[in-house]
Amino acid sequence: MRIFVYPGSFDPVTNGHLDIIDRASKLCDKLIVAVLINRSKSPAFTMEERVSFLKQVLQGRNNVEVIPFSGLLVDFMKQQNATTVIKGLRAVSDFEYEFQMALLNKNLDPNIETLFMMTNIKYSYLSSSAVKEIASYGGDIRDLVPEQIVDQIYNKLRKK
């Protein structure tokens, strides 16, 4: 069984993330969307909220599972019997960091491969940070995130 992992903070999940999830899930038997605790970021949404958003928008995708985790990605991959990391790239600037992470992971576990997927051009400008900024000022995020979670994002971010 080919198990891939798509790690990220998903704070919140965007249509760009969903595009990568949908495309990556066609390449494996099981895709784990791994919601991570990133010590270098202060998320706007709790782990529970981020996992809930993903579960809501991924309903009906039978080979996709959402799992929260912290720690080293290679350790999580071993626990899940996963072989491949999926990383979405929006621009060349993403590549340098993700390439470094892929090499570090390969050094920690030579059995792990990283598959880089270019984003769909219509999402190349999109980031969770941009969504949070726009939503916090009441701007329109309806084309940026899945419809099911728009109101939840507004409700959380307008309070701040």
Beta bridge pairs of residue 31: 4, 64
- Residue 40: the pLDDT is 72
Give the architecture-level CATH label for domain 1-156.
3-Layer(aba) Sandwich (3.40)
Catalytic: 41?
yes
154 is in an annotated binding site: no
Among residues 2, 41, 55, 78, the one annotated as catalytic is 41
- Domain map of the chain by residue range? 1-156
14-51 confidence digits (pLDDT tens): 999 999 999 999 999 999 999 998 777 789 999 999 99
| 10, 128 contact by CB (below 8 A) | yes
The interaxial angle of helices 47-57 and 150-157, nearest 10 deg, is 160
Extended beta strands in 16-157, E state: 30-36, 64-69, 84-89, 113-118
SS3 23: helix
126 is in an annotated binding site: yes
41-92 confidence digits (pLDDT tens): 789 999 999 999 999 999 999 999 999 999 999 999 999 999 999 999 987 7
Helix (H) or strand (E) holding 34: strand 30-36
Please tell me the distance from the alpha carbon of residue 160 to that of residue 158, in angstroms, as a whole number: 5
Beta bridge pairs of residue 65: 32
Residue 160 has pLDDT above 60, yes or no: no
54 is in an annotated binding site: no
Please tell me the distance from the alpha carbon of residue 160 to that of residue 157, in angstroms, as a whole number: 6
